[in-house]
Amino acid sequence: MKPLLVLLVSFGVLVGGTHLFQGQADFVLAGNGAMAAMLAFTAIGHFAFTQGMMRMLPEFLPAKRAWVYVTGVLEIAAAIGLLVPALRVGTAGCLLVFFLLILPANILAARRNLNYQTGATDGPGPAYLWFRVPLQLFFMAWAWYFGWYLPVV
């Protein structure tokens, strides 16, 4: 999945870059910078694939376009918040809640075989959840560890 690749490659680049320029790796900066890069990347999807992402939302939810745009803006805000040390812990806490709240949309999309980029029903289907649910938990653990735990320790 592309967001995971963005997260891991960004982390590697930032660990290497901080080691090269500071003499030692800055894991707090690298971890939060990588999550910020991933969030910025996924936020783009909210604006580039709005129609498909609207289909990820349950039928009873009104103003689907607004929800897609607002969550994209929230991802951008969280990316910025992770990069500001004074906002980092609070932002990480908000991200834990955010990642938990968006999981049902991913589950619904998988149940509908939805391809969020095209809006078609030729997506990977429920089998995708064997990857997506652990991935969501991994994102939550990452946000907690680099955004909440390490900055406090």
pLDDT band at 153 (very low <50, low <70, confident <90, very high): low
Residue type, 104: P
pLDDT digits (tens, 9 = 90+) for 2-49: 999 999 999 999 999 999 999 999 999 999 999 999 999 999 999 999
CA distance 103 to 40: 18
Rounded to two decimals, what is the model's pTM?
0.94
CB atoms under 10 Å from CB of 42, counted, come to: 20
CA distance 92 to 98: 10
pLDDT digits (tens, 9 = 90+) for 128-142: 899 999 999 999 999
